[in-house]
Amino acid sequence: MVKVEVLRVFTDAEGRFGNPLGVVDGASVSDPGHRQRIAARLNYSETIFFDDLDRGELRIFTPTVEIPFAGHPTVDAAWIMSRELGRTAELLRTPGGDVPTRTEGDDVWVRGPLAATPPWWHERLSSADEVAALQGPLSPDQDATQLWAWQDEKAGVVRARVFADRYAVAEDEACGSASMRLAAALGRRLIIQHGNGSVVHARPGPPGTAEVGGRVVTDGLRSLDE
């Protein structure tokens, strides 16, 4: 029996919406193939395995592949560390590199290397309404794509959706790494109204990096028979 804590990352101010994520104690599942099977069964956009909570060492799996870094798993991991250790987490250690973390009010922030993020394609649409009305990507070739439009350009508010069949995720409710890349490309801080109602904050970091932040809530434990 494998215990999985389910959390939602990038909720709105009332704790609604957000991108679900599974968190597993890495000591209970050490084999990479076993981890991949668990991630596939859970079928969240990502599942993380903490190998050393005190040091912030973790691995990240989509339903089909391990990836070196992603936004919403690392925001979640920083939140988990702070809760479990009773102090603000300062650093995560991922295969994609060390990830500094901090909190700003109710939001947890991470700074990650853009070179380690998935290779998202961004395509701007004409209006936020057009983004909201999407039934899927514009073409089947858009299998790792963030479609976006300005909702309020002056205020830096974006409406966005992410479609990711490449990673066996039809639509990612709130994609941190794509939002990081968008903020870096636009060179400004963004508030991204993502998916059905999630809220992602993103901004450029030092060269080669970007930052992403948001709120996290827990939906409790579930068990998988193994």
Q: Which residues are catalytic?
A: 46
Query: How far apart, in whole angstroms, are the C-alpha atoms of residue 172 and residue 216?
Result: 16
Find the length of the chain. 226
| Cβ atoms of 43 and 17 closer than 8 Å | no
Indicate the DSSP class of residue 108.
E
User: In terms of C-beta distances under 8 Å and separation of at least 24 residues, what long-range contacts does 219-222 make, across chains too?
Assistant: 219/6, 219/7, 219/8, 219/20, 220/5, 220/6, 221/3, 221/4, 221/5, 221/6, 222/3, 222/4, 222/6
Q: Nearest 10 degrees: CA dihedral of 116, 117, 121, 127? A: -140
Whole-angstrom CA distances from 41 to 24, 62, 80, 125, 170 are: 13, 11, 22, 34, 15
| Cβ atoms of 12 and 197 closer than 8 Å | yes
Picking from 97, 96, 55, the residue whose alpha carbon sits closest to that of residue 77 is: 55
| Cβ atoms of 75 and 216 closer than 8 Å | yes
